Amino acid sequence: MIATLKKYKFLLSQLVKRDFIQKYKKTALGIVWSVLSPLCEFLILYFIFSYMFGRNTPHYTTYLMTGILVNSFYTSATTSGLQSVLNNAGIINKIKLPIWLFPLSKNLSATITFLINCVVLVIFLFIDNISFSWVYISLLYPVILLFFFNYGVSLILGTCYVFFKDTSYLFNIFNRLLYFCCAIFWNVTSLPEILQKIIIFNPVYDFILYFRTVLIDNQLPSAFVHLYLFGFTLVVMLLGCLIYSKNKNKYIFYL
Amino acid sequence: MVKAENVSIRYLAGDFSDVGLKEWVIQKIKKERKVEPVWAVQDVNFTLESGDFLGIIGTNGAGKSTLLKSVTGILEPRKGKITTDGNVIALLELGTGFDGDLNLRENILMRGALLGFSKEFIEEKTDEILEFAELTDFQWYKYKQLSSGMRSRLAFSICCMVNPDVLILDEVLSVGDGSFRQKSSEKMLNIIKGGAITLFVGHSTVTMRQLATKILWLDRGKQIAFADNRGDAVELLALYEIFLKIRSKNPKAVPDIDDLRKRYRESKIKAAAIEKSKSSLNDLKLTKEEQQLFDELTADLKNKLQIKTVTLSKIVKFERHLLFNPELITKAEEKIKEITDKPIVLCGNFSICYTLKKLFMDRGIAVAFSGEATDKALEDIKNMTDVDLILTTNEKTAEDIRKLTNARVISTDELFCFKITG
């Protein structure tokens, strides 16, 4: 797999480049949109919820922004990853290529967008009077895990989507639900004790939690969060690879 | 090298690709999921060395495209295995991988990347590709702004310039118009003759007859025959043509090589009998019965010829352009002069008759009548006394004229249109 990756390194870079060109073609602002859309979401949520939740949440701007960014990284990577196989049916049907390259390229573009957004996050930290600390370097851990997590989900769902077109709608609804279960704009402490213990099992919430603990509390999250995220990502990734390799020869009949 | 060993490819057919989750669950429960595996290709074997040109023949649905898909590696054979060396490039995918919003240079990079080449290699070739495609002035245009001719020129140039080791062609050897067509077909022939392995799929046998070193015949997924040398390849093509003729009358016909070979030999014998020359039969090693057939035919023909009706239907239907090939016209001229020295009649399609009339008149053959087979024309032909050769351009006209005369007529198949078959 590493050898194949090396061989198609150039193709991968071309695909990522194409993703960006296609995404922002015919727009006046172009790539600025990748920053602007989470920013707008932030403004809307801040406007509506800052009074309700902001009062008992310290550093609410940073709190809200990390939630939005991590969640939109997850959502955009998986949604575009899900469609990538079907959208490139024309190429897959005609040219022999490892199919996993297509979700990978979508995930890479989403990661790049996320990293650009992180620059905006730094500005937010500055405004919110949070100063830089060495603990921040540990954020590489959730970013790398989240990348693999997203990729695993893309492989699983991308495969399902080829066989059942309903997957896309179901996944949209699921993501909507997940959005509200991630404590993006509200605070977990307002929940009853028992629910607080359950929500910790939502991996996307844990990714967000990781960011918040490091950025706002300036400390590392608990060992449980570290292990849980690692374990969950590993399982998703393995499942993705398994489902993909079991079905890769069947794709062609359904495209 | 391309090697196929006992290759069988299974395809899924039935109403599966647009099935939603609900239908899938219902079908699973009711156990009536109608996905049937279909063997598109069964037990196919062949080996190709560098420089080989394999023509793959067979009627629609024979499994030709499926086989090619597994040579390119898109479809994995269910049984057996296909091994290929070097980079495989298929021209049938001419338009894929281009993006309308990228300019030509970016598209060349993208397309090169899809074919698995490195950045350095493609960047080095880009100017050469643009120049060959005659699109250097358009290099900063977006792909969608190009005309369709320009698009195919670009795609073709990329495929050629990267010097494929295995080339897969679908019916086409060249693209574009006029000078570019010439240039592209020359380039393609260079690649083919320069040691590449070519797999060519097509219904037309003309190109194959010129280039094929090997022929694979598929019918409904099964390998009917594989000719692995030039001589056998040409014979197999002839058998295939005979089969196509049978199949046009009976769509359910199954190719039977022995029967086809018998017919092929007979037709060769008839042709030789008409030419009154046995030289073309030397390679055939006639059996006793065939020898007898030849003698009978030659004897018979001597008594027959009163009015000879020859149709040009073959030329008209398939290779009208052959009319403009001076060599073939010369052959026709010799043949006519051998049969008769009296004026001839040309009947049928107006424009073809007109062209032929001019050509024949230039070569000193008198033409008594040339034109369409209207009632009046037929009446005139009936009353002509000093004519013993009528050429018609189609079978129907020939039939009409046969009704008019009491003379014994040789059927068109037997005369082979002077063997003007290219």
* Whether the Cβ atoms of residue B418 and residue B331 lie closer than 8 Å to each other: yes
Residue with tokens 């060959």: B132
A47 Cα to chain B: minimum distance (Å)? 38
* Whether the Cβ atoms of residue A75 and residue A175 lie closer than 8 Å to each other: yes
Say yes or no for a CB contact (<8 Å) between A94 and B110.
no
Phi, psi of A193, rounded to the nearest 5 degrees: -50, -50
Cα A6 to its chain centre, rounded Å, is 25
CA-based nearest residue to B392, from B333, B329, B348, B352: B348
Residue in A92, A94, A165 nearest the CB of B20: A165
Residue in A22, A95, A167 nearest the CB of B96: A95
CA-based nearest residue to B330, from B355, B359, B367, B351: B359
**For residue B85, what are its two tokens?**
């060396």
Across chain B, which has 422 residues, the per-10-residue mean pLDDT values are 87 62 72 71 88 88 85 86 84 72 88 84 91 90 87 85 83 73 84 86 78 89 88 87 85 86 81 65 73 75 52 46 65 71 77 78 77 79 72 73 58 39 33
Render the burial of B204-219: b for 16+ CB within 10 Å, e for the rest.
ebebbbebbbbbbbbb
**DSSP per-residue codes, chain A:** -HHHHHHTHHHHHHHHHHHHHHHHTT-SSTTHHHHHHHHHHHHHHHHHHHHHHGGGSTTHHHHHHHHHHHHHHHHHHHHHHHHHHHHTHHHHHHS---TTHHHHHHHHHHHHHHHHHHHHHHHHHHHTT----GGGGGGHHHHHHHHHHHHHHHHHHHHHHHH-TTHHHHHHHHHHHHHHHTTSSS-GGGS-HHHHHHHTT-HHHHHHHHHHHHHTS-S---HHHHHHHHHHHHHHHHHHHHHHHHHTTTHHHH-
Picking from B16, B19, B21 by the largest number of A CB atoms within 10 A of its own CB, the best residue to mutate is B21
Residue in A7, A22, A170 nearest the CB of B101: A22
Q: Starting at the earlier edge strand, list the strands of the sheet with B53-57.
A: B79-84, B2-13, B36-48, B222-227, B214-219, B53-57, B197-201, B166-170, B88-90
**A25 shares contact with chain B (CB less than 8 Å):** yes
Question: Could you report the per-residue pLDDT of A109-126, keeping only the tens digit for each?
Answer: 999 999 999 988 888 888
Minimum CA–CA partner of B78 in chain A: A249
> How many CB atoms within 10 Å of residue B149?
12
Say yes or no for a CB contact (<8 Å) between A96 and B102.
no
Parallel, antiparallel or unpaired: strands B2-13 and B36-48 = antiparallel
Q: How much of chain A exceeds pLDDT 90, in percent?
A: 49
Instruction: Give the Cα separation of B23 and B15 in Å (integer).
Output: 11
Write down the pLDDT at residue B386.
Answer: 67
**For residue A178, what are its two tokens?**
């997940």
User: CB under 8 Å to A38, separation ≥6 — which residues?
Assistant: A65, A68, A69, A72, A117, A120
**B74 shares contact with chain A (CB less than 8 Å):** yes
Q: Among A54-58, A131-135, A218-222, B95-99, where is mean pLDDT lowest?
A: B95-99
Distances A130 to A56, A199, B163, B280 between C-alpha atoms, Å:
18, 27, 59, 97
Residue with tokens 């730094």: A122
Instruction: Give the Cα separation of B392 and B409 in Å (integer).
Output: 13
Write down the pLDDT at residue B280.
Answer: 65
**B113 shares contact with chain A (CB less than 8 Å):** yes
Minimum CA–CA partner of B72 in chain A: A96
Residue with tokens 């990538």: A84
Helix (H) or strand (E) holding B4: strand B2-13
Write down the pLDDT at residue B65.
Answer: 83
Instruction: Give the Cα separation of B270 and B290 in Å (integer).
Output: 10
Instruction: Give the Cα separation of A208 and A188 in Å (integer).
Output: 12
> How many CB atoms within 10 Å of residue A10?
20
Minimum CA–CA partner of A16 in chain B: B110
Question: Could you report the per-residue pLDDT of B315-334, keeping only the tens digit for each?
Answer: 444 345 556 666 666 767 77
**A90 shares contact with chain B (CB less than 8 Å):** yes
* Whether the Cβ atoms of residue B365 and residue B410 lie closer than 8 Å to each other: no
* Whether the Cβ atoms of residue B297 and residue B306 lie closer than 8 Å to each other: no
> Could you give the 3-state DSSP secondary structure of residue B110?
helix
CA-based nearest residue to B239, from B213, B214, B272, B205: B205
Instruction: Give the Cα separation of B206 and B211 in Å (integer).
Output: 9
Residue with tokens 């005309």: B147
Instruction: Give the Cα separation of B114 and B97 in Å (integer).
Output: 7
Instruction: Give the Cα separation of A162 and A164 in Å (integer).
Output: 6
Instruction: Give the Cα separation of A140 and B333 in Å (integer).
Output: 86
Write down the pLDDT at residue B312.
Answer: 54
Sign of CA dihedral B125, B131, B135, B136: positive
The alpha helices in B133-227, defined as continuous H runs, are: 148-161, 178-193, 206-211
Write down the pLDDT at residue A28.
Answer: 82
**For residue A162, what are its two tokens?**
């080829």
Average pLDDT over every residue of A140-154: 96
**For residue B84, what are its two tokens?**
């290929």
**A197 shares contact with chain B (CB less than 8 Å):** no
**B116 shares contact with chain A (CB less than 8 Å):** yes
User: CB under 8 Å to B381, separation ≥6 — which residues?
Assistant: B345, B347, B369, B387, B390, B401, B404
**For residue A81, what are its two tokens?**
């990853």
Instruction: Give the Cα separation of B181 and B50 in Å (integer).
Output: 26
* Whether the Cβ atoms of residue B169 and residue B199 lie closer than 8 Å to each other: yes
Parallel, antiparallel or unpaired: strands B197-201 and B166-170 = parallel
Determine the straight-line distance between the first and last CA of chain A, rounded to whole angstroms. 24
**A6 shares contact with chain B (CB less than 8 Å):** no
Determine the straight-line distance between the first and last CA of chain B, rounded to whole angstroms. 32
Write down the pLDDT at residue A111.
Answer: 95
Q: Among A87-91, A99-103, B305-309, B406-410, where is mean pLDDT lowest?
A: B406-410
**A22 shares contact with chain B (CB less than 8 Å):** yes
Beta pairing partners, B347: B371, B392
**A159 shares contact with chain B (CB less than 8 Å):** no
Residue with tokens 């292990």: A227
* Whether the Cβ atoms of residue B200 and residue B237 lie closer than 8 Å to each other: no
Instruction: Give the Cα separation of B212 and B233 in Å (integer).
Output: 7
Q: Let me know how long chain A is.
A: 255
DSSP class of residue B18?
A: T
pTM of the entire structure?
A: 0.74
Residue in A25, A250, A253 nearest the CB of B101: A25
* Whether the Cβ atoms of residue A182 and residue A208 lie closer than 8 Å to each other: yes
**B39 shares contact with chain A (CB less than 8 Å):** no
Any idea where the domains of chain A sit in the sequence? 55-254
Write down the pLDDT at residue B371.
Answer: 81
Say yes or no for a CB contact (<8 Å) between A18 and B110.
yes
Write down the pLDDT at residue A103.
Answer: 95
* pLDDT surpasses 80 at A159: yes
Q: Let me know how long chain B is.
A: 422
